[in-house]
């Protein structure tokens, strides 16, 4: 069980790319529009 006690920020960039930051971790992702 994960306890999220930090603020998770989702930032969207142009082109459907963005990243999720949680503490010191940055998870990059891409969004495809169908």
Identify which of 11, 8, 1 has the alpha carbon closest to the alpha carbon of residue 23.
Answer: 8
Q: Would you state the pLDDT for residue 5?
A: 52
Tokens 């169908």, located at residue: 34
Mind listing the pLDDT tens digit of every residue in the chain (34 residues)? 455 555 555 666 666 666 666 566 666 665 565 5
> CB-based contacts of 10: which residues, under 8 Å, 6+ apart?
18, 19, 20
Question: pTM for the complete prediction?
Answer: 0.24
Q: Would you state the pLDDT for residue 1?
A: 46
Range of the domain at 20: 1-34
Q: Do 9 and 26 meet the contact criterion of CB atoms below 8 Å apart?
A: no
Q: Would you state the pLDDT for residue 10?
A: 61
When divided into structural domains, the chain yields a total of: 1
């Amino acid at each position: 069980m994960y306890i999220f006690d930090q603020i998770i920020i989702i930032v969207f960039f142009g082109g459907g790319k963005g990243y999720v930051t949680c503490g010191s971790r940055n998870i990059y992702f891409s969004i495809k529009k169908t």
